[in-house]
Structure 1
Amino acid sequence: MKTRYVSCLLGGFAALCLTACEDHRLSPNASFPDRIEFIAQRQYPEGIAYSAQLDRFIITSLTQGKIGTVDINGNYADLITPPELIAGVGVKVADGRIFVCNGDQGVSSKSSPATTRRTAELLVFNINSRQLERRTDLDDLLPGVNHFANDLAIQPDGTVYVTDSFAPVIYRVTSSGQASILVNDPRFASATFGLNGIVYHSNGYLIVANTGAGKLYKVDLQNNNAISEVGGLPSLPGDGLTLLNGDLYVVTGSGSRVAQVRSTDNWQTASIVKFDTDGYSQATTNVVVNARVFTLNARIGEISAAMGNPALLQSNNYSIMKFR
């Protein structure tokens, strides 16, 4: 495992040792529209976050390995175009930094035989300087198998947890950049697409989705990382996960709907409160802003259909939907 730092750190990571507050709960804007349409050339934005500092949504790109912004009026702009980022997947904003998963499904302009289905990295950028501060290789921790870093969750002490969709592992990266495998379990495996969305719960555990299995799992960080399936649910092939007021919002149905899921026993079991189905198409994940859930319609189905032929990926129109 290699963690690489660059000279622009300026001691900034010391702050992460104290707290890592995600910068998405509040915004200077009093209200957001129910739907934000935006145009971004061949963006295919798998991940979404929000920066109150920039007053913009932050989105990634599977096809171009860059990070962009979208305002509430639907104006898109490139933010960071780093050479190190092959395909931007899950993204979070915390303490003035952008944390992004770097993977490769073979559809990026930067894809190569050496990186396709072999890449799992965590990149951290300073939101003010737009410079790379840290790059941590995760695929080195489990050699000889396929890898795809998908999503991440940040603990208040700055620890980051990263899912791998092609290997049955969750990685742990400390606030100082030290990486390890938190859990490696056959329940996280899938013949298609395995681990996907992940969230950190303030009671000291993770909730993670296995898309191929259609299940949610709880990883108890305070009990030797014990893994248990969240019971009581029907098959729920989840993509992105977001917590709001104790409920879990799960993008599901191949991106055609978002499920509001609730537990009354600390996520031993759960039930579906409702599905929101209007306006979702090929969605991936969601983010909370101003106590509302916003979901990214990312045309993710086109990625699967174009495997091996990136030239087929030419869409420019995307949208962000408010859960209703």
Structure 2
Amino acid sequence: MKRAVLMGLLAVGLASAGGAGMSMAPASSPLSASATLRDPAGVVTGQVIFKQLGMAVQVTVKVNGLTSGQHGMHIHEYGRCTPGVDAAVNKVVAFGGAGGHFDPGMSHNHDSPKADDKYGHGGDLPMITVGADGTGTASFTTSKVSLTGVTGILNRSIVVHAHPDDYKTDPSGMSGARERCGVITRDNFVARNYTLPGAQDFPEGVAYDAKRGLIFTGSAATGNIYAINAQSAQTSLFSKGGALGRSSALGLKVDSQGRLWVAGGATGSVSVLSPNGAPVAKLMTPPSPDPYLNDLTLTPDGSVYVTDSTRPVLWRVRNVSDPSKLKIEPWLDLAQTPINYGPGINLNGIVATPDGRYLLSVQLNTGELWRIDTRSKAVKRVMGGLAHGDGLLLDGRTLYVARNADQLIAKVNLSADYGSGEVTLEEPAGGLRYPSTLVMIGGDLVSTQSQLDKLTGGTPETPFKLTRFKKF
């Protein structure tokens, strides 16, 4: 797949889906987080408490050991309080690893803490005033950031600077050196990360082989596929990008024979790999403009159904014993159904019910969830409200939806016939970065942190990772 094609499709998909803010689904308990402030030597010098209050966040800061007067304070992009290059001065500085100011509105502008995110950095906070004893406290509420959603600050950092903030000079209001830093971590939440070795991995798909205890994930940018030991976290290159002409690896599934099925995006193909990673088959859809095979699911009869995000077709591979006779064919013309294809990314994630009777698929650019009957091919709208819906995971009557640009996982309770549903919880985990797909291991969920929003521009947070946490 041409990388430029994928980048263009992603850009259109993001634009058409709109900029949804934080959704207010019921939560089991109010979100809270904290950050321990340290000086460049690593000595603890204060603490910051964050509490979600409706659409705003209450922030309480206490810090010591600073010079008296006002000090600029900001949320920074990355959760790394390490030395690194500060782009503003182009040299290594204390806490440079935290990156620049968090800018969810992509304003590229430093401004007042009261400015809308489209005009100024979301991370632009009020200053803290330090007394003659070197101790400073501050307490305020801001709606510029959140602990969930597109303005989520979990696993980012808060930095206190040496000087006052003039609230106008780019990039940091002339606030001087970074003197204190703390990573913002969610309270009472446990997660485990599986890291990937590549600087351009952008992991989009994920699958689990329970027999071997292996997690598979594929790169949207290179087509590399990695195998991760779910217990030890040891990672190896399972299949290098380029095999069978695979330049992108999106949706992944493991079948009963241990073979890995891979949706190839704009290549218009599905690759099948043996349990040891050797090529088995490459299944090509007919040539046409803008193919985009995005995700796939297996049914008990051995069929594989594949979504196409740009062409209104649902594809199927029939179960045959001879790999040389595997063929992908159009199964349902979606133009003849209630599903209306528009600009951007359309049908995306897909799952099958345990008996194979129904398929569920989410349409990213509309936020609609659809049920498709595999017997009659009848299509029914289940619900809307799943903005930026990407990968799906079905667990009984519970559907988990990775909502990529919203940086959260939605939990949907489905009716007995899968024909209706209701969002009951929206979970940011420990701070997700564009989650695209999900898989379940025992009582845990594993989500990719694909950062596909950075594939079209910007600097991704590395190492790329998958995150594992208890299902909710």
Name the TM tier (shorter chain): 0.7 to 0.9
TM-score calculated relative to the size of structure 1? 0.77
In structure 2, the partner of 1:29 is none
In structure 2, the partner of 1:266 is 417
CA distance in 2, matches of 1:151, 1:209: 11
The secondary structure found in structure 2 opposite 1:190 is: coil
Counting only pairs closer than 5 Å after superposition, residues 300-311 of structure 1 correspond to structure 2 as: 300-305=452-457
CA distance in 2, matches of 1:150, 1:228: 21
In structure 2, the partner of 1:67 is 225
Is 1:317 aligned to residue 317 of structure 2?
no
Deviation at 1:292, TM superposition (A): 2.8
CA distance in 1, matches of 2:215, 2:468: 12
Q: 1:85 to 1:188 in 2, by over 3 A?
A: farther
- The partner residue of 1:122 within 242, 248, 270 is 270
Let me know the Cα RMSD of the aligned residues: 2.0
The secondary structure found in structure 2 opposite 1:219 is: strand
Q: State the Cα deviation string for residues 234-278 of structure 1 (Å, max 9, x = none).
A: 343310001112211001151510011112241221101211113
Q: 1:37 to 1:133 in 2, by over 3 A?
A: closer
| Contact 2:404–2:436 under 8 Å retained in 1 | no
Is 1:96 aligned to residue 258 of structure 2?
yes
Q: State the Cα deviation string for residues 15-44 of structure 1 (Å, max 9, x = none).
A: xxxxxxxxxxxxxxxxxx732141321211
CA distance in 2, matches of 1:264, 1:179: 32
- The partner residue of 1:295 within 431, 436, 447 is 447
| Contact 2:244–2:279 under 8 Å retained in 1 | no
In structure 2, the partner of 1:228 is 380
The secondary structure found in structure 2 opposite 1:239 is: strand
Q: 1:314 to 1:193 in 2, by over 3 A?
A: same
Q: State the Cα deviation string for residues 178-236 of structure 1 (Å, max 9, x = none).
A: 3221222242512011111000113401000110011011111122x0111113x4343
Q: Identify unmatched segments of 5+ residues in structure 1.
A: 1-32, 105-118, 307-311
CA distance in 2, matches of 1:201, 1:214: 20
Q: State the Cα deviation string for residues 259-309 of structure 1 (Å, max 9, x = none).
A: 111122412211012111132221110001114322111112112447xxx
Amino acid aligned to 2:417: N
| Contact 1:38–1:75 under 8 Å retained in 2 | no
The secondary structure found in structure 1 opposite 2:436 is: strand
- The partner residue of 2:359 within 186, 198, 206 is 206
Counting only pairs closer than 5 Å after superposition, residues 163-202 of structure 1 correspond to structure 2 as: 163-176=307-320, 177-186=326-335, 187-202=339-354
Q: Identify unmatched segments of 5+ residues in structure 2.
A: 1-189, 321-325
Is 1:48 aligned to residue 206 of structure 2?
yes
Amino-acid identity (%)? 23
CA distance in 2, matches of 1:198, 1:153: 6
Amino acid aligned to 2:301: D
CA distance in 2, matches of 1:188, 1:73: 45
Is 1:134 aligned to residue 281 of structure 2?
yes
The secondary structure found in structure 2 opposite 1:170 is: strand
Paired positions, count = 267
**Which is bigger in relative contact order (C-alpha 8 A, separation at least 6)?**
1
Q: 1:155 to 1:235 in 2, by over 3 A?
A: closer
